[in-house]
Amino acid sequence: MPDVQSHRADHVVASGDRHTIQQDVRAYRLKRVQQQLRRCDCPAILLYDPVNIRYATDTSNMQVWAGRNPARYVMVFADGRIVAWEFHSSEHVWDGLDLQVELRGAKSWTFFNAGHDAEKRAQSWADEIVDVFREYAPGERLLAIDRLDPFGSAFLEKHGIRILDGQALMETGRLIKSAGELVLIGESLRIAEKGIARMRRELRPGLTENGIWANLHYENIRNGGEWIETRLLASGDRTNPWMHECSARVLREGDLLAFDTDMVGPNGYCSDISRTWLVGDGRPSDEQRKLYEYAYAQVHYNMNLLRPGMTFREFSQKAWKTPEQFVKNRYCCVAHGIGMVDEYPSIAHSVDWDASGYDGLFEVGMTVCVESYIGADGGTQGVKLEQQVVLTEQGCVSLTDCGFETGWL
């Protein structure tokens, strides 16, 4: 099997002045949102998801906390105007951005903030949202919204507002990455690679899973990264089935150790790399090598297969065929989109297509993670691998130089 071409993001695009790149990326992303609004014949979108707000405006404010506390929200209009309702004393997060922004104070009706006055607070919120919407989009009734609880939806509908699925609009808009975005994605990946290298240096029997995982967090935070979405690291018999999060389990000589970075690094972009290693200085067993060979084959076969112009269904049907003993414990998808976080699309295995598959088209500029998990049903260990790539005219190009255990093959 030929090796898939491997390039870092700074090899894929020409380097440039970082400030200029950031400005270009902001303009590109806002334009993508505007294009999606016009495509849907929708005058505006109301954003609550902190990742969508970051994409559209490049503002970030307590992202993890804001993901579960609806404390700030932004309305973006198809003409590019922005009205932002910012969290208490946080107007400074908008400093230095070349945007047409009207700043207001946010209202929240979570029980934490509003207590038993939640319904009254939600009514006041809706009145203001509708006033702003009708001021900037007179005569319009259709408003896209990415996330909203039942109180908010009910009060907007009382005002005659029709709600469009804004998450679909945003995920479609985020699909194609600009050259500048690839530079920023590359900066996040370089930090993930530093964290992975640090984990590898520290790996030895006697440490805990939590202790090894902390090395990735350390490099991410010290280099300006933001958060890590999961704690997917497991060793020994906890590697089968997959999806165990790291624990206080002590690593033992000869264990497999597998992880999935899911790291939101600098610039708010996700680095999503999975690798599996051997704990200690010994050699992998025949079983461990065989599991690794299967996982390596699956990732690289599918990377060689993947190219622009291919439909999701075609890719699923032509993808590497998982041997029967590994089908039950297969990973949840063959591949998925990646950007600021996991994104559309999620490509179902062929055996899952009728239940959960949906079609679409791979395009130049999409960034994708190609996945594999190999672990037998009832087995005691497994191998997780994942590679982050970009689709170019020439096909699938790796975005990371993080190595595989080719000596095991």
> What is the pLDDT at residue 19?
86
pTM passes above 0.75: yes
Tell me the per-residue pLDDT of 308-325, one tens digit each, with 9 for 90 and over: 999 999 999 999 999 999
CA 132/CA 136 separation, integer angstroms: 6
CA 35/CA 196 separation, integer angstroms: 38
pLDDT tier for residue 11 given thresholds of 50, 70 and 90: very low
User: What radius of gyration, in Å, describes the C-alpha atoms of the chain?
Assistant: 23
Supply φ then ψ for residue 94, to 5 degrees: -95, 0
Co-location of 130 and 211 in the same domain? no
Co-location of 310 and 398 in the same domain? yes
Co-location of 249 and 140 in the same domain? no
Tell me the per-residue pLDDT of 97-131, one tens digit each, with 9 for 90 and over: 989 899 999 999 988 988 999 999 999 999 999 99
Co-location of 238 and 169 in the same domain? no
Which residue in this structure is represented by tokens 């995920």? 171
Using the 3D structure, point to which of 173, 206, 240 is the last residue of a domain.
173
pLDDT at residue 218 is higher than 50: yes
Domain of 158 in residue numbering reads as 40-173
Co-location of 240 and 337 in the same domain? yes
pLDDT tier for residue 389 given thresholds of 50, 70 and 90: very high
Question: 16 in a domain, yes or no?
Answer: no
Co-location of 351 and 401 in the same domain? yes
State the CB neighbour count (10 A cutoff) for residue 95: 7
Using the 3D structure, point to which of 127, 146, 173 is the last residue of a domain.
173
Indicate the residue type of 264: V
Decide: 224 and 243 in contact? Cβ < 8 Å.
Answer: no
CA 242/CA 199 separation, integer angstroms: 20
Co-location of 168 and 196 in the same domain? no
Mean pLDDT over 43-63 rounds to 98
What CATH number did the domain enclosing 294 receive?
A: 3.90.230.10
Q: Which two tokens stand for residue 175?
A: 């699909």
Mean pLDDT over 230-247 rounds to 98
CA 70/CA 283 separation, integer angstroms: 50
Tell me the per-residue pLDDT of 15-29, one tens digit each, with 9 for 90 and over: 458 889 999 999 999
Question: 321 in a domain, yes or no?
Answer: yes
Mean pLDDT over 392-408 rounds to 96
pLDDT at residue 14 is higher than 60: no
Tell me the per-residue pLDDT of 349-386, one tens digit each, with 9 for 90 and over: 999 999 999 999 999 999 999 999 999 999 999 999 99
pLDDT at residue 134 is higher than 80: yes
CA dihedral of residues 197, 374, 369, 69 (deg, nearest 10) = -80
Share of the chain above pLDDT 70, in %: 96
Co-location of 204 and 307 in the same domain? yes
Question: 106 in a domain, yes or no?
Answer: yes
Question: 298 in a domain, yes or no?
Answer: yes
pLDDT at residue 5 is higher than 70: no
Mean pLDDT over 156-161 rounds to 97
Cis? peptide before 241, omega within 30° of 0 = yes
Co-location of 213 and 88 in the same domain? no
Co-location of 148 and 239 in the same domain? no
Co-location of 379 and 404 in the same domain? yes
Question: 10 in a domain, yes or no?
Answer: no
- Range in 1-10, 53-62, 248-257, 375-384 with the lowest mean pLDDT: 1-10
Decide: 66 and 49 in contact? Cβ < 8 Å.
Answer: no
CA 214/CA 372 separation, integer angstroms: 24
Average pLDDT across the chain, whole number: 95
CA 175/CA 177 separation, integer angstroms: 6
What CATH number did the domain enclosing 48 receive?
A: 3.40.350.10
Co-location of 204 and 138 in the same domain? no
Q: Give whole-number Cα distances, 366 to 33, 102, 119, 203, 329, in Å.
A: 16, 32, 42, 34, 28
Listed in sequence order, the residues at least 6 apart from 20 whose beta carbon sits closer than 8 Å to its beta carbon are: none
Q: How many domains does the chain have?
A: 2
Question: 35 in a domain, yes or no?
Answer: no
